[in-house]
Amino acid sequence: MLNRTAENILARFNDLENNPDETISPYLEFNVEGELYYFTPGGFLYRRDPGAEEVGGFFCGYLTDEVWRYRTGQEVEEIQAPIRAEHRSWWRRIFGA
């Protein structure tokens, strides 16, 4: 059976341009149209089983790695901040490296 609600959730989170500030936390449940949904690590969306007290449910889809990292704040920075002189190792300070 097609789950339009899950499709809408995934479409919204995948839209980084129009929804740039929304974040995701693994296992944090959210209610949409009376159903509880959550993401597992890696961006896998599940709908919780009614009445279940433990993790489990119906798999609804997933986000790409890029979107998952962006939404969870796990982006890899491409440019490293310059190392200040007082934070360089002692041998680099002495030998000028």
Among the residue ranges 36-40, 67-71, 78-82, 93-97, the one predicted with the least confidence is 78-82
Read off the pTM: 0.70
The number of folded domains in the chain is 1
pLDDT tens for 73-89 read 876 444 344 545 455 45
Task: Return all residues near 3 (Cβ < 8 A) that are at least 6 apart.
Answer: 47, 58, 60
Q: Give the tokens for residue 34.
A: 């009376």
Q: What is the DSSP string of 5-66?
A: HHHHHHHHHH-TTT-TT----TT--EEETTEEEEEETTTEEEEEPTT--SS-EEEEEE--HH
For residue 23, the enclosing domain spans: 4-95
